[in-house]
Amino acid sequence: MISKNLTILNKLGLHARAAAKLVALSNNFKSEIILVKDNKSADARSIMKLLMLSASKGSVLEVKITGKDQEEAMGSIEKLFLNGFDEAL
């Protein structure tokens, strides 16, 4: 398992469309991907669970990935976070 703390940079936070992007991206990998915030965890493949994390701009999420392609998955997800989900910052 690898883990990393990533910050939400975009203005609207992890809202529906951003979460949808994360789901779509996670579906490309085989590893288990879990996001944790304030003792709540969410499967990165469930848009509802992601929204329930209530992650607005500036929140820090712990991303935990377990599986064969974990490094690759972490790289892609980190990139998505750094790009602010391709939205306005």
Partner 1 sequence: MSLIINGESISKGICIGQAVHIDKNNIDYAPSYIKKSQIPKEVEKFKKSLVSIREGYEKSRDKVKDNATITKLIETQLHFIEDKSFQKNITKKIENNLYTANWSIATEYQKIENEFKRIEDKYIRERLIDIKQMVISLLDFLRDSKSGSNLKKVNLRNKIIITDEITPKEIIDIYYNHVSGVITSHGSKSSHSAILSKSLSLPMMVKAGASNNIIKDNDLLIMNSENNEIIINPDQNEIKYFKSLDNKNTSLVRGLRKILKKKSITNDGKIIKIMSNIELSEEVKFLDKNCDGIGLYRTEYLYMNRCNLPSEEEQVLAYKKVFKRMIQKTVTIRTLDIGSDKEVSENIKAGDIAKNPALGLRGIRYSLVEKNIFKTQIKAMLRAGYNKKLGILIPMITNVNEIYMAKEIINEAQIELKNERKKFTEEYMLGIMVEVPACALQADILSKHVDFMSIGTNDLVQYTLAIDRIDDEVSNLYDPTEPAVLNLIKKVIDACNKAGIDVSVCGEMAGETFYTKVLLGLGLTSFSMHPQVIPEVKSIILNSDTKKIRKAINKILKCGNRIMRENLIKNL
Q: How many residues bind partner 1 (CB under 8 A)?
A: 21
Q: Are 35 and 62 in contact (CB under 8 A)?
A: yes
Among 7, 28, 56, 83, binds partner 1 (CB under 8 A): 56
Which of 27, 25, 23, 33 is CA-nearest to residue 79?
25
DSSP label at 67? S
Other C-beta atoms closer than 10 Å to the C-beta of 46 total 13
Q: Which range binds partner 1 by CB under 8 A, 12-20, 29-37, 65-73, 74-82?
A: 12-20
Minimum CB–partner distance for residue 69 and partner 1 (Å): 19
Q: Does 17 contact partner 1 by CB under 8 A?
A: yes
Q: Which range binds partner 1 by CB under 8 A, 15-23, 28-36, 68-76, 77-85?
A: 15-23
Q: Are 50 and 21 in contact (CB under 8 A)?
A: no
The CA distance from 86 to 34, in Å, is 21
Residues that bind partner 1 (CB under 8 A): 12-17, 19-20, 23-24, 43, 45-49, 51-52, 54-56
